Amino acid sequence: MLYYSTRDASSSPRMVTAAEAIKEGLAPDGGLYLPETIPALTEADFDALLSMDYPERAAFLLSKYLTDYDPALLLEDCRAAYAPEKFPEPDDPADFGQRPAPLHPLADGITALELWHGPTSAFKDMALQIMPRLLSRALVMTGERRTAQILVATSGDTGKAALEGYRDVEGVAITVFYPTGGVSPMQARQMQTTRGSNVNVVAVRGNFDDAQNGVKRIFADRELAEEADLCGFFFSSANSINWGRLAPQIAYYVSAYLDLVNAGRIRMGDEVNAAVPTGNFGNIFAAYLAREMGVPVKRLICASNRNDVLTDFIQTGVYNREREFYKTVSPSMDILISSNLERLLRVLGGSALTRDLMASLAKTGKYEAPEELMEKIRSAFSGYSLDEAGTLSVIGETWKDEGYLIDPHTAVGLGAVRKYREETGDPLPVILASTASPFKFAAPVSAAIGLEEAEGGLYDGLRRLSSATGRPIPAPLAETETLPLRFERVIDPAGMAGVPFEH
């Protein structure tokens, strides 16, 4: 399996191996890497996957895309990445299915796919525990002797998950940029207290798009790349623009469907819908790839918060980032430039159109997709958004009616499901991506379920929420209370280019 750039419209596009794509992160022309084909799962594949545990499933699916990797080593890496000490068994007796991504049944045929049982209590762990292993092997496979300088822009969870995955990994250094005031207090605390000798964390004045654009400018700067080479390192990415980050996410959608079959909640071949709260479009694009591989997902429900650029695009065909930016209670979705949407545009619209649309976005801040392309997109995707009041209402109702505590991002997804069903009457079962522990957002969750604001600081709020709900504070969050703050630096976006050279 070879990979090409989404923006390479030449008659003979540059093709690279999976290892090269993972090492580079972003293509030289600024595009994102895609596999030359989307592999199809056969009936025999599904039968075999049913009896596998999660690491086996993940390795099997990754081997379909990473054909230059040794399948035995992929399985070894998946077993290490998803080991019980990193993803312990869930403590809710209602949960079922495979750890590390168990399922929790909700009313009306909705099932929450809990992706937050890992080292940082967010779904990003599902990819970022395996991705460093994929990169390390890629460095060896490509004969790379330089240090890989990982650059990450985060709207909250990716940063800490990447830091945790890459800390003290040989041959790698990592720098994370996050927007000032644009992450939750717990997300900031997690990043600021990160351990490791090869890590750096810097806050950027502005929003997530300012941080993400700064990272993209570094990748696109040839002079910086040459300077980095002279210093003995090269730039790569741990954001979902890197194929090594996105590919592992396909596995949990396939696994969720199989777990529903094994639990007798659906039969093999039954259609389901999938709902994904997303800002950067990577998580839902992974669900789309699972669908294209053969998982019978009828509709992909794309859920946005008040920053509803994706909802508007799906509904109107116009992508316009030139709009007011809102800081919300679901900060990991506070994004106006959804990078992974580019991959969908390429799959359904071709390279030339994708290149032109991306050029328009860079130049004018918007683009309008042709109706023929939008018909293809709408045949698979529906887009809905939830405002702040709606998000808090869903959290409160879910706790009151079902005794199930959810975070604001999951609430946006659940609210989108309800809007979709009201509009369409579609009764199909739904797999809902639950993307973070509610304790990462203790203040809004507490307010939503009727708790008065706790006196004291962040950790008093965590303890109050735990006491009121009977749910334990996840250990990765509790431990940050006693860890020293290491990274409190704040810079302007213009200063980002110099930071990687400080390692």
Q: What is the model's pLDDT at position 157?
A: 84
Q: What is the model's pLDDT at position 503?
A: 65
How far apart are alpha carbons 260 and 431 in whole angstroms? 9
Q: What is the pTM of this model?
A: 0.94
Beta bridge partners of 304: 385
Tens-digit pLDDT profile for residues 340-383? 999 999 999 999 999 999 999 999 999 999 999 999 999 999 99
| Residue 14 predicted with pLDDT over 90 | yes
Q: How far is CA 334 from CA 54, 181, 397, 501, in A?
A: 31, 11, 24, 29
Q: What is the model's pLDDT at position 502?
A: 82
CA dihedral for 217, 221, 224, 226, sign (positive or negative): positive
Q: Which amino acid is at 446?
A: S
Q: Which of 31, 39, 33, 37 is nearest to 16 (CA)?
A: 33
| Residue 438 predicted with pLDDT over 80 | yes
| Pairing between β-strand 2-5 and β-strand 490-491 as defined by DSSP bridges | unpaired
Tens-digit pLDDT profile for residues 401-434? 999 999 999 999 999 999 999 999 999 999 999 9
Q: Which of 492, 441, 485, 503 is nearest to 177 (CA)?
A: 492
Q: Which of 23, 64, 124, 216 is catalytic?
A: 124
Q: What is the model's pLDDT at position 139?
A: 94
Tens-digit pLDDT profile for residues 95-147? 999 999 999 999 999 999 999 999 999 999 999 999 999 999 999 999 999 99
Tens-digit pLDDT profile for residues 195-254? 999 999 999 999 988 998 999 899 889 999 999 999 999 999 888 889 999 999 999 999
Give mean pLDDT, residues 69-86: 97
* Residues of the chain above pLDDT 90, percent: 91
Tens-digit pLDDT profile for residues 249-306? 999 999 999 999 999 999 999 999 999 999 999 999 999 999 999 999 999 999 999 9
Q: Is 376 a catalytic residue?
A: no
Judge whether 174 and 163 are in contact, CB under 8 Å.
yes
